[in-house]
Amino acid sequence: MKNFKGFTFTLLALLLVLSTNGLAQDSPELVEEEEQAQAEEQLSAEEAAVDMGPLSSVEVDEQAATGEAAAEAGDLAEVKEAFAKDKTGTNPMNFTYDARLYDEYRWLNTEGEGRQNLLTAEFRAPFAGGKWQIRGKIRSSNLRADFNNDGFNDVSERGFGDTDIRVMTVPYMSMEKKLAVAVGVEAFIDTASDDALGTGATSLAPFIFLGFFNPIGPGSIFVPGYQHTFSVKEANGRDKVHGGLIDMFLVKTWKSNKYWGYVDPQIILDYEERTEFMLLEFQAGMMVGPAGHSMWAMPSFGVGTHRPYDFSLEIGYKIVF
């Protein structure tokens, strides 16, 4: 009986050891099944990687560029909407149909009494799908000046002055950087009815200027620029025209573009005579009457020995369509 019990105990111990080894180590068939399942999972993952695999750096850059382009397009759409609502006509980057009529009275820088009255009609219009703008100006002038302070007018003329036509475009605009670049060319045509009322030359004047948006808050723009003028044809006995203009225009609007004000210091360089002077203009304006109608007043001061006038005052009326 003891031997049977010992045998039984030994058999149970042996079965327990075999069972433990079986749990610790899978059978070959089970291992094979598990390896096959893992291989299938890896193959599925590789196939998924082929179909929807991680983006390459190029693809990431392309998607980022696409996102930036979409954001930029959205910004430009907002700009166009804001430009469409702006009827002040003070933003040179905003191409609108508008007509202006303004009168400027100048107290000239002469030895004796000198006065000049300039009446200007101006029209602007976009073309080429709004990518370009053309501007034209015609003037009438009434000039009386005593150059020698002898009590007599050395010049007393009334008639038409020169005509100028300008075309410009904005090849670059980024609202993210709050920056725009405008380029163009202006032609000054010798149409004066008298020598004293014009330059006596037909000239071309290419220019470039930058637009910095909101430098002093919403509704503001700072526009520094340079224009280079040179004559291509002079009348008999008239001097060549060769000069430069440095312009630093800053405008601010208020009350949803109902009111505006700007300051515009200009440095005029005469490369032919090697002289220079400065003009300092201030303008205040407001919307009046029907939509798109406005008026402004602009005093201007001449600075420097060769300034054409000491002081001028301009009153104007404008319609932006």
User: One-letter amino acid identity for 120?
Assistant: T
Per-residue pLDDT band at 190 (split at 50, 70, 90): very high
Q: Check whether 79 has a pLDDT greater than 90.
A: no
Q: What's the whole-model pTM score?
A: 0.76
Instruction: Give the Cα separation of 144 and 6 in Å (integer).
Output: 143
Q: Check whether 208 has a pLDDT greater than 50.
A: yes
Instruction: Give the Cα separation of 250 and 15 in Å (integer).
Output: 98
Contact criterion met (CB below 8 Å) for 209 and 180: no
Instruction: Give the Cα separation of 266 and 281 in Å (integer).
Output: 8
Q: Which residues contact 79 (CB under 8 A, 6 or more apart)?
A: 173, 175
In 25-56, alpha helices (H): 28-52
Q: Tell me, what's the pLDDT at 75?
A: 56
C-alpha to C-alpha distances, 120 to 71, 258, 288, 289, nearest whole angstrom: 42, 24, 20, 22
Residue 26: phi and psi, rounded to 5, are: -65, 160
Contact criterion met (CB below 8 Å) for 311 and 296: no
Contact criterion met (CB below 8 Å) for 310 and 301: yes
Specify the DSSP element, H or E, that contains 187: strand 179-189
At 131-189, the pLDDT tens digits run 999 999 999 999 999 999 999 999 999 999 999 999 999 999 998 899 999 999 999 99
Q: Tell me, what's the pLDDT at 260?
A: 98
Specify the DSSP element, H or E, that contains 170: strand 163-174
At 42-64, the pLDDT tens digits run 655 555 444 444 444 445 455 55
